[in-house]
Amino acid sequence: MATVENSRSVAGIVLAAGKGTRMKSAVPKVLHPIAGKPMLGWVLDAMRGSGIGASCLVLSEDLVGFDEFLAKDPDLAVALQINRQGTGDAVAAASYCFAETTPAPYAAGKAHRQRRGKPIDATHVLISAGDTPALDAGSLAGFIDACVDAGAQLGVLGMRVPDPRGYGRMILDGSKLRAIVEDRDADPSTRRIDVCNTGIIFGEKNLIFELIRELKPNNSQKEYYLTDCVKHAWQRGLPTHAHVSDKWQEFAGINDRAQLAAVEAVLVRRKIEAMMLSGVTVHLPDTVYVEDGVEVGPDSEIGPSVCLRGKTKIGAGARIGAGSVLDGVTVKAGEVVPPLSVRLEGK
């Protein structure tokens, strides 16, 4: 589990109970594959990559489709959000999976599965949505470090986006955070603010769950907003911190298939750039598709319009001809794959 100043441990909370109706799919939104991995898997891997070992996943009572995913991650705690009354209610549901934590009076949740049979024991939590698969582990770790360095009890990761419409706006006092105002509740002057909420919050575990208990559904949606915790912390005079990033694409959420495609392009490009930095030549990289589980050795060449899927492994010095499709296969070192080849696992 991640440690902060050696005496503090950080656990993750991933909110994934939304219906995802705009995906128009029988598949739960957070399980839609993106660059070869379920959307939710990207978020959890980013948390692990930042140093967080224990996480709680918040789902709805409708667990249809989740059995296989959860079976592959037995250490993941799972809480169920019964009423789905907003992000604050979702975190309140997560409290059932944490040690020495009293659920909010309005919370209608339960622990579906504890981590290794026991509640999570942590001093701090990092909260994120489950539909932001482009999260970067380094950015999350940097955010945690920034909050610790600022002495903040509660911190929020912000971003500057070209078009802030739809995002909650962050009301700043220098690097301190006074409040977050949701777009639908903002006045015209607040909507002109370009620093937006990513939905990623870090803070002391006991404080966050204490603030969660104070939330009221006094907003246009009649929901319990997690972001209202910032206002309550500020009113108490507690140290808050806003860490603002210009890498807004890392925090893009997915609500429909068009947004899924846009974020997948970011993840595929990230994978290809990592390959090129490791010594692989990729011709016309904007035409190439590579999934997360693919491995390519140094001095290999990947031609234009190539598609590499699944657990494909390409040895050093291999050449993959233009337009080829490789799915779950192994290419030997130095092998030449002719253009327009199709090689599929098991065939």
Q: Convert the pLDDT of each residue in 154-181 to its tens digit.
A: 999 999 999 999 999 999 999 999 999 9
Identity at 179, one-letter amino acid code = A
Closest among 308, 292, 309 to 300, alpha carbons compared: 308
DSSP-assigned beta bridge partners for residue 244? 158
Report pLDDT digits (tens) over 193-251.
999 999 999 999 999 999 999 999 998 889 999 999 999 999 999 999 999 999 999 99
User: Tokens in use for 206?
Assistant: 């006991």
Q: For residue 6, what pLDDT is reported?
A: 46
Question: How many alpha carbons lie under 13 Å from residue 294 in its C-beta half-sphere?
Answer: 27
C-alpha 109/C-alpha 122 separation (Å) is: 20
| Pairing mode of beta strands 325-327, 307-309 | parallel
* DSSP helix/strand/coil, 191: helix
More confidently predicted of 19 and 28: 28
Report pLDDT digits (tens) over 76-111.
999 999 999 999 999 999 999 999 999 999 999 999
User: Tokens in use for 318?
Assistant: 């291999």
On average, the pLDDT of the chain sits at 95
C-alpha 178/C-alpha 182 separation (Å) is: 14
C-alpha 322/C-alpha 340 separation (Å) is: 6
Burial state string for 273-311 with b = 16 or more CB within 10 A and e = fewer than 16: eebeeeebebeebeebbbbbbbebbeebbbbebbbbbbe
